[in-house]
């Protein structure tokens, strides 16, 4: 964070935050991406009972104790969060405090990026208070789950560019070659696990990329295209890991001038903030932080929708 914003982040447990601590900050927006482990389908799914959910549950309660809650709230989490009790607690609080909100399940593919990373997003905006200074909450009725799965402006991005547009021109193949132990037990690979430069889809990258052979992200095949990669490993050319720079590009981070940028949702796009990894981070550490991150383009468009949206956004906030 300091490397890219030249500002030190506050290091403290979320559970220790109080209304008194937040008051002088006068933040009009909260941006939250709480730990996903309590909600992942491959985990124990302890939901709000998971210790890693304590921070989010604390913030939900904190909202009701603040004299001036933030105007905007943004939240990102994994697929399945929409079915959680944590989500229900958040929606109940937002409704009680007079927020309009929209829930989404979106993937970068809908934004012209060849990476399939379905995530839950919530965008919320608090209605203007009444003259008395209080917002009259509507009569509580448990809201149905009304997820928006389509991005209304996907068509403007045109065809999805190939994976090759995101690859670095010169990479040490030996340094990024996938170990045989990762793949020898596999009889074949799906098209999303092993991507060719001409493909327009890659699977989701996680923080375990480079450690786990399966389910942690796509590999790239840069040679041996005349051999079917659906066959056994012995008939394949050795696949390679995507480099951290390539994954950052697929996450739409402005990491270099070569990062492809889909057309903006508005005629004029603001200048992009540059992004760079600290030199002290190893390749594995860079993979890990990228796996824990999110797609910048998707989040940016959702923020634009919530902050500047109108009827043209189909009633979304």
Q: Which are the catalytic amino acids?
A: 36
CB atoms within 10 A of CB 300: 17
Query: Do residues 37 and 80 touch, judged by C-beta distance below 8 A?
Result: no
CB atoms within 10 A of CB 227: 12
How many angstroms separate the most distant Cα atoms in the chain?
74
Distance CA 90, CA 279 (A): 39
24 to 28, 56, 67, 68, 89: CA distances (angstroms)? 12, 21, 12, 11, 26
Among candidates 115, 110, 123, which has minimal Cα distance to 149? 110
Distance CA 95, CA 103 (A): 13
DSSP string computed for 76-111: EEETTGGGSHHHHHHHHHHHHTTEEEEEEEE-GGGG
Burial class (CB in 10 A: 0-12, 13-18, 19+), 61: exposed
Those residues with Cβ within 8 angstroms of residue 179's Cβ, 6 or more apart along the chain or in another chain: 213
Query: Do residues 61 and 104 touch, judged by C-beta distance below 8 A?
Result: no
DSSP state of 209: B
3-state secondary structure 14-56: HHHCCHHHHHHHCCCEEEECCCCHHHCCCCCCCHHHCHHHHHH
Query: Do residues 195 and 166 touch, judged by C-beta distance below 8 A?
Result: no
């Amino acid at each position: 964070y300091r490397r890219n914003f030249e500002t030190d982040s506050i290091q403290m447990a979320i559970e220790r935050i109080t209304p008194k601590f937040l008051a002088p900050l006068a933040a009009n927006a909260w941006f939250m991406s709480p730990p996903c482990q309590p909600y992942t389908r491959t985990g124990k799914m302890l939901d709000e009972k998971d210790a890693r959910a304590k921070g989010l549950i604390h913030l939900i309660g904190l909202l009701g104790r603040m004299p001036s809650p933030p105007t905007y709230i943004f939240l990102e989490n994994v697929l399945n969060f929409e079915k959680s009790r944590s989500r229900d607690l958040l929606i109940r609080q937002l409704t009680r405090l007079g927020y309009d909100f929209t829930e989404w399940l979106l993937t970068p593919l809908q934004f012209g990026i060849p990476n399939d990373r379905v995530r839950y997003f919530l965008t919320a905006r608090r209605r203007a208070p009444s003259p008395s200074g209080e917002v009259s909450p509507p009569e509580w009725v448990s809201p149905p789950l009304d997820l928006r799965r389509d991005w209304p402006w996907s068509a403007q991005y045109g065809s999805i560019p190939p994976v090759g547009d995101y690859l670095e021109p010169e990479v040490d193949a030996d340094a990024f070659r996938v170990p045989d132990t990762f793949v020898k037990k596999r009889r074949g690979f799906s098209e999303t696990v092993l991507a060719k430069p001409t493909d327009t889809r890659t699977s989701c990258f996680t923080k375990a990329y480079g450690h786990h052979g399966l389910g942690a992200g796509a590999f790239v095949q840069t040679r041996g295209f005349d051999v079917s990669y659906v066959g056994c490993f012995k008939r394949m050319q050795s696949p390679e890991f995507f480099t951290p720079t390539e994954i950052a590009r697929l996450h739409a981070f402005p990491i270099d001038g070569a990062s492809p940028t889909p057309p903006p949702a508005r005629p004029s796009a603001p200048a992009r903030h540059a992004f760079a990894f600290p030199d002290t981070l190893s390749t594995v550490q860079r993979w890990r932080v990228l796996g824990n991150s999110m797609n910048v383009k998707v989040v940016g468009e959702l923020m634009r929708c919530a902050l500047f949206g109108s009827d043209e956004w189909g009633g979304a906030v």
